[in-house]
Amino acid sequence: MRNPIGLVLPALFLCMLSLVPCGQTATLAVLDFENNSLFDKDSYASLSTGLAEIMITELSKVASLQLVERRKLKNLLDEVKLEQAGISEESQSLQVGKMLGVKNLVFGSFMVAPDKKIRLDLRIVEIETGITLKAEEVTGKAKDVLDLVQKLSKKLLKDLNVTMTEAEIKALEDSKSVDFKAVTLYSNGLQLEDKGKIAEAGKCYKEALRISPDFEQAQKRLEALRNR
C-alpha cells in the first residue's frame, strides 16, 4: 500500500486547503506533544493536544512569527488519512512540513511524574535539511503548566532569533495560575471538538472555567463554540 504522506499534492490543491496563502510561507508548525508519562499515561492523553494548542496560543502573541493553526494541520492530515501520531518518523514529518510550506517543525513531548511534576521537551527541526536546530526542556509542578509552556515558548523564540516588541514580551510573561485539572479538561474539550462533539466539548470548557475562572484559552474556545 502506498504511503499517503508520500503522495505529491498539487500546489493548487494546497492553496484550496488554505493552509498557507499562495505565494507566502509560514514559518512554524507545532505538532501535538508526545505523551511520555510512565504512570497513569491514559489519564494525560488529551494533554498531547492541549499543550500544543496552548503553545500555539502563546507563540501567536508575536506578530512577526507566522504559525500554522493546529486545526489547519489536522485538516491536512485528515486529507491524507494520517493522524499526527503517525508522523513521528523523520521522513514523514519533513514531508508534512513541506506540504504545509513551513520552514520549521516543532516536536514536543511531556512526562507527568507521580509527584505531579511535569517535564516539557521540544526540538526544532529545519524542514530543508532535516537538522534539529535546538532542543529545550523545562520542569516544574503540574499546577504551573501554563507558566512552563510560556517559558518553553520564550526559549523557542530565542532559538529562532525572533524579534519581539516590549508589548509582546510582556504578553508572554503575563502568566495566570490555572489548575492542572482545568488544563486537562480544556485538553479533553479540544479533542472532543476535533471529533465534532461540540456539546460535550462545551461542557469541558465550562467545567475548566468553573475550576479556574481566569483560564483565558478555555474562555476563548467556549466563546468560539457559542458563535458557531
Q: What is the pLDDT of residues 27-67, one digit of tens each?
A: 799 989 999 999 999 999 999 999 999 999 999 999 989 89
What φ, ψ does residue 77 adopt, rounded to 5°? -65, -35
DSSP letter at 38 equals: S
Q: How far is CA 220 from the centre of its chain?
A: 16
CA dist 219 and 191 (Å) reads 16
pLDDT at 207 over 70: yes
The residue that leads in pLDDT, 226 or 100, is 226
The CATH architecture one would assign to domain 24-175 is 3-Layer(aba) Sandwich (3.40)
What is the average per-residue pLDDT within 119-142?
93
Please give the mean pLDDT across all residues of the chain: 83
Give the pLDDT of residue 8. Answer: 37
What φ, ψ does residue 55 adopt, rounded to 5°? -65, -40
- Give the tens place of pLDDT for each residue, 134-186: 999 999 999 999 999 999 999 999 999 988 999 998 888 887 789 999 999 99
What is the average per-residue pLDDT within 189-211?
96
CA dist 33 and 109 (Å) reads 4
